[in-house]
Amino acid sequence: MENQERINQIREAIELIEQAMELVDDAVAGSRKESHFRAYGKYGFNQLLNNGNPYDSGLQDLINEFEKEL
């Protein structure tokens, strides 16, 4: 598999993760679990999408690495 294909797959994954995060946000909205999810559970989504701790790597970091090799 070539790097451009990898990049395209990762971009597709990012879109799917964003959709999944929206679904989960909607599912927990207004529930007793909402604050707990936003404080702890959403961390994994944010990390993957590079929206969390700047020292954690995410999917965009993978794309950047593959782009360097092009």
**Residues 27-39: pLDDT tens digits?**
999 999 999 999 9
Evaluate if residue 53 carries a pLDDT over 90: no
- HSE at residue 68, side-chain half, CA atoms within 13 A, is 6
The yes-or-no verdict on residue 7 having pLDDT over 90 is yes
Tokens 């990762």: give the residue: 10
Mean pLDDT across the stretch 3-17?
Answer: 98
State pTM to two decimals: 0.89
Mean pLDDT taken over the chain: 95
Residue pLDDT, tens place only, 38-52: 999 999 999 999 998
